[in-house]
């Protein structure tokens, strides 16, 4: 790759810092290295991304998995750079490209997960050919107000790049608001069921009305203005993807549940815009198993623990479907650090009543909030302050463990085989 000297030096410096950070065990390192690179050359991200055919993925839930699926599809056509560790902020993107720039062969494609707030900046810097917008719902309550604001910012950023194709979830009114009026938009009916964050019309504030599901899913429309769900181009119908013209592609994934078929539908539609034939794209996605620890099974003291990530009420609605039936014990880890949102009141928007009939072990920094929630849900539970101990308390040969963002990271560290395995 022909990069200016300044950029090459900035990349080299960033990679050294990343390597030091990684060896010191403070993390994956790419974000801290990216920070150094960007400080030394503010244009580095744009220069590093140049020459790639870029697809970016954003939304509240499913970013990491959808990006992984998109990368799998693109890999059928060429080399792919992707931020597979979920480094989805500015420094993480720079770090991702910097590390890839070290290898001899330059990648042809980039599949990038981008934080909801960074979408405008990412569009400016990496010039994506396609932007996939998955969904928008409440995630961090101490930052509320931002859900609608993100939709507005997405809209303005996309208006400025009319040549960029957009793949939009037609079933999410806030995504529809962001993508309304965009010329190169492909609407995907994912069958999304979460509606609690879109009771009011994003355009005029009146109530939204939801029609019962029809052939292309559940349509919604405003009771007062003309804002309504667009006619979808691509429809996820059960485990089949229906393409324009009616061709049906079976979606068979190793990843479980409706939410991952929806992620695959969005990824396959984005991949098609980048030139991957849909059946081939979906076929490549079938082999994706665990994604950054999600759905991974780890064995701790003879207990097989399946790891699930659920960050917010919308994510939990899906995760409760994935959790295996009672009496299988469940461990739930809840934190409320900056990346989680400091206010875990959202626990009361999750129907934990559905976990009744089994033991639930509450853990994490805010496990006591969860314990109180489970008491009122009349779910048998115990609070345990340590992840390995929580797994032992749950017992049994097989358990599910669901945790929110930083708790999930702590769980992966705590349950890693190298960490005091006995």
Q: Could you list the residues that contact other proteins (CB under 8 A)?
A: 26, 138, 141-142, 144-145, 148, 196, 199-200, 205-207, 223, 337-339, 342-343, 345-349, 365, 368-369, 371-373, 375-378, 383, 406
**Is it true that the peptide bond before 327 is cis, omega within 30 degrees of 0?**
yes
Rounded alpha-carbon distances, angstroms, from residue 408 to 249, 339, 340: 33, 12, 11
The least CB distance from residue 86 to other proteins, in Å, is: 15
Comparing CB distances to other proteins, the nearer of 24 and 105 is 24
CB 105, min distance to other proteins, A? 35
- In the complex, least distance from residue 54 CB atom to other proteins, rounded to whole angstroms: 30
Of 109, 105, 174, 98, whose CA–CA distance to 136 is shortest? 174
- Element of type H or E holding 71: helix 63-74
* Residue closer to other proteins (CB basis): 87 or 347: 347
Contact yes or no for 348/373 (Cβ under 8 A)? yes
Contacts of 231 (CB under 8 A, 6+ apart): 187, 216
**How near is the Cβ of 119 to other proteins at its closest, in Å?**
21
Q: How far is CA 205 from CA 136, 253, 284, in A?
A: 17, 39, 42
Choose between 77 and 407: whose C-beta lies nearer to other proteins. 407
Query: Token match 């790891």: residue?
Result: 307
**What backbone torsions phi and psi does residue 345 show, to the nearest 5 degrees?**
-55, -25
Q: Which residues pair with 248 in a beta bridge?
A: 242
Give the count of beta carbons closer than 10 Å to the beta carbon of residue 301.
12
Distance CA 41, CA 12 (A): 11
**Between 8 and 195, whose beta carbon lies closer to other proteins?**
195
Show Cβ contacts of residue 210 under 8 Å, excluding neighbours closer than 6 positions: 195, 218, 219, 220
C-beta of 264: minimal distance to other proteins in Å?
30
Closer CB to other proteins, 240 or 343, in the complex? 343
Q: How far apart are CA 138 and CA 153, in angstroms?
A: 16
Shortest Cβ 24–other proteins spacing (Å)? 12
The residue (of 46 and 365) whose beta carbon lies closer to other proteins is: 365
Please, which residue, 141 or 279, has the CB nearer to other proteins?
141
Nearest-approach distance from CB 366 to other proteins, in angstroms = 9
Find the shortest distance in angstroms from Cβ 349 to other proteins.
Answer: 5
Residue with tokens 């009114």: 173
Nearer to other proteins, 61 or 82 (CB): 61
The CB density around residue 134, as the number of other CB atoms within 10 Å, is 27
């Amino acid at each position: 790759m022909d990069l200016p000297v300044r950029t090459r030096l900035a990349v080299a410096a960033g990679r050294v810092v990343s390597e030091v950070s990684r060896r010191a065990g403070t993390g994956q390192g790419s974000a801290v290295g990216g920070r150094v690179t960007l400080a030394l050359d503010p244009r580095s991200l744009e220069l590093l991304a140049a020459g790639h055919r870029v697809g970016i993925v954003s939304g509240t839930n499913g970013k990491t998995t959808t990006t992984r699926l998109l990368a799998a599809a693109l890999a059928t056509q060429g080399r792919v750079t992707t931020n597979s560790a979920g480094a989805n902020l500015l420094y993480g993107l720079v770090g991702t490209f910097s590390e890839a720039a070290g290898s001899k062969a330059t990648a042809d494609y980039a599949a990038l997960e981008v934080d909801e707030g960074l979408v405008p900046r990412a569009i400016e810097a990496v010039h994506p050919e396609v932007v996939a917008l998955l969904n928008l719902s409440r995630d961090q309550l101490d930052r509320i107000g931002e859900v609608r604001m993100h939709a507005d910012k997405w809209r303005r950023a996309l208006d400025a790049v009319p040549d960029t194709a957009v793949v939009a979830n037609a079933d999410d009114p806030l995504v529809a608001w962001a993508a309304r009026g965009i010329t190169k938009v492909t609407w995907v009916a994912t069958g999304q069921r979460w509606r609690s964050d879109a009771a009011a019309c994003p355009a005029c504030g009146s109530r939204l009305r939801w029609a019962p599901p029809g052939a292309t899913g559940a349509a919604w429309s405003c009771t007062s203005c003309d804002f309504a769900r667009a006619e979808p181009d691509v429809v996820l119908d059960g485990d089949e993807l229906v393409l324009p013209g009616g061709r049906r592609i079976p979606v068979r994934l190793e990843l479980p549940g409706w939410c991952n078929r929806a992620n695959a539908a969005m990824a396959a539609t984005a991949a098609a815009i980048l030139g991957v034939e849909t059946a081939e794209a979906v076929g490549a996605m079938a082999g994706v198993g665990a994604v950054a620890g999600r759905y991974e099974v780890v064995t701790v003291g003879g207990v097989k623990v399946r790891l699930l990530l659920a960050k917010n009420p919308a994510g939990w609605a899906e995760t409760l479907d994935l959790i295996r039936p009672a009496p299988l014990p469940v461990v739930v880890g809840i934190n409320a650090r900056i990346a989680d949102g400091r206010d875990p009141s959202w626990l009361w928007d999750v129907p934990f009543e559905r976990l009744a009939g089994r033991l639930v072990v509450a853990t994490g920094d805010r496990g006591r909030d969860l314990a109180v929630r489970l008491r009122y849900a009349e779910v048998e539970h115990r609070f345990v302050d340590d992840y390995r101990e929580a797994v032992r308390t749950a017992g049994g040969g097989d358990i599910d463990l669901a945790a929110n963002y930083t708790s999930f990271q702590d769980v992966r560290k705590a349950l890693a085989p190298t960490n005091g395995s006995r």
